[in-house]
């Protein structure tokens, strides 16, 4: 769960991390008017504009639980965003939040209403290994690690996460490399190597695809709402 309250107006870039969010947004002066938002697994960056006093409460699902939110529609969910009535159609229990003070606890109440499909434990393990290895494992090696074929692993990724295993791995690799540059102060060429990119051009293409910027032009307003690396 996360929350964010804007102290000034502005805009921010939200980076894709392949996970689905359930978000409710309101303004501090009118806390009872809420705008529900549901996001599919994101692979593209998007911009959010906000005013001072805007606040968000969100639930970020573990990647393999995308199917719990989108059910049979997960195939169409990547990079889609449902707002207002569409979000309520997707998750009717969100309507219970109308007229009540918005808190993390109130938002947490809607989680049990999701129907959680069974997740192959090998998928959960594969996701954990991918995070630990910075997305640097090939999918066939990853499948071998968890004891299944890469075909099966891809099938459960698409069925539960909504993305291919490779796309999810590339997202992790992107976030880790970005963190090497921004938090680790690692020079760009060295970050490309440590991040596991075959060359600088390959890293630049990935940064443009997932971030909309180049490694040397990383914007400073990437922090809304806090994107965890795991």
Binding mask 118-147 for another protein (x = CB under 8 A): --------------xxx-xx----------
Closest approach of another protein to the CB of residue 185, in Å: 4
| Between 55 and 133, CB nearer to another protein | 133
Residues 123-143 as b/e (b if ≥16 CB within 10 A, e otherwise) read bbebbeebbebbbbbebeebb
- In the list 31, 45, 53, 196, the residue contacting another protein (rule: CB under 8 A) is 196
Give the H or E element holding residue 191.
helix 188-195
Please say whether the beta carbons of 139 and 166 come within 8 A: yes
204 touches another protein (CB under 8 A): no
| Between 28 and 189, CB nearer to another protein | 189
Q: Calculate the alpha carbon distances from 41 to 35, 80, 90, 170 in Å.
A: 20, 8, 15, 14
Total residues belonging to the chain: 230
Closest approach of another protein to the CB of residue 40, in Å: 29
211 touches another protein (CB under 8 A): no
| Between 83 and 131, CB nearer to another protein | 131
190 touches another protein (CB under 8 A): yes
Cα–Cα nearest to 119, from 155, 145, 87: 155
Please say whether the beta carbons of 212 and 204 come within 8 A: no
Closest approach of another protein to the CB of residue 128, in Å: 12
- In the list 194, 208, 222, 227, the residue contacting another protein (rule: CB under 8 A) is 194
| Between 8 and 216, CB nearer to another protein | 216
Give the H or E element holding residue 12.
strand 10-14
Place of tokens 């639930």: 59
Tokens of 145: 């690690």
Give the separation between CA 126 and CA 115, rounded to whole angstroms: 23
Place of tokens 């060359």: 199
188 phi and psi, to 5 degrees? -60, -45
Q: How many binding residues for another protein (CB under 8 A)?
A: 15
Closest approach of another protein to the CB of residue 48, in Å: 28
Binding mask 169-188 for another protein (x = CB under 8 A): -----------x--xxxxx-
Residue ranges binding another protein (CB under 8 A): 132-134, 136-137, 180, 183-187, 190, 193-194, 196
């Amino acid at each position: 769960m996360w929350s964010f309250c804007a102290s000034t107006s502005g805009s921010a870039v939200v980076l894709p991390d392949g996970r689905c969010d359930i978000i409710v947004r309101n303004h501090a002066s009118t806390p009872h008017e809420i705008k529900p938002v549901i996001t599919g697994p994101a692979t593209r960056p998007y911009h959010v504009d906000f005013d001072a006093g805007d606040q968000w409460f969100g639930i970020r699902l573990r990647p393999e639980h995308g199917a719990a939110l989108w059910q049979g529609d997960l195939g169409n969910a990547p990079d889609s965003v449902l707002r207002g009535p569409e979000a309520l159609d997707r998750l009717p229990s969100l309507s219970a939040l109308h007229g009540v003070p918005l808190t993390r606890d109130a938002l947490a109440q809607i989680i049990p209403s999701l129907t959680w499909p069974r997740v192959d434990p090998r998928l959960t393990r594969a996701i954990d290994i991918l995070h630990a290895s910075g997305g640097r494992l090939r999918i066939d090696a990853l499948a071998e690690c968890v004891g299944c074929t890469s075909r099966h692993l891809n099938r459960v990724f698409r069925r539960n996460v909504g993305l291919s295993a490779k796309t999810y791995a590339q997202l992790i690799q992107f976030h880790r490399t970005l963190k090497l540059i921004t938090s680790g102060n690692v020079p760009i060429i060295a970050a490309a190597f440590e991040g596991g990119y075959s060359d600088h051009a390959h890293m630049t293409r990935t940064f443009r695809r997932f971030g909309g910027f180049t490694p040397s032009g990383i914007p400073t307003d990437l922090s809304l709402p806090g994107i965890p690396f795991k």
